[in-house]
Amino acid sequence: MPAPDDIVDRGFLEARGKLLEVAAFLDRAERYGRADDYRVAALKQAMRELCDAKQVGRAEAFLRAMSDPTSEPAPQAGKPAAGAWEPKG
Partner 1 sequence: MRYIEPHAHMVSRVTDDYERLVLAGCRAVCEPAFWAGFDRSSPQGFYDYYLQLTEYEPRRAAKYHLPHFCWLCINPKEAEDVGFAREVMALIPEFLPKDNVLGIGEIGLNKNTRSELRILEEHIDLAAQHDQLILVHTPHLEDKLKGTRLILSALQSDSRIKPERVIIDHVEEHTVREVLDAGFWAGITLYPVSKCTPARAADILEMHGRERLWVNSACDWGPSDPLAVPKLAMELRARGFSEAELDDFLFKNPCRFLSQCDKFNVTE
Q: Interface with partner 1 by CB under 8 A: which residues?
A: 1-2, 10-11, 57, 59-60, 63-64, 66-71, 73-78, 81-85
Beta carbon of residue 54, minimum distance to partner 1 (angstroms, whole number):
18
Q: How far apart are CA 55 and CA 53, in angstroms?
A: 5
Beta carbon of residue 73, minimum distance to partner 1 (angstroms, whole number):
5
Beta carbon of residue 30, minimum distance to partner 1 (angstroms, whole number):
23
Beta carbon of residue 24, minimum distance to partner 1 (angstroms, whole number):
17
Q: Which is nearer to partner 1, 36 or 71 (CB)?
A: 71
Continuous segment of H or E residues that includes residue 81: none
Torsion sign (Cα): 49, 27, 84, 36 = positive
Q: Which is nearer to partner 1, 2 or 33 (CB)?
A: 2
Q: Which is nearer to partner 1, 50 or 82 (CB)?
A: 82
Report residue 76 CA to chain centroid gap.
Answer: 27
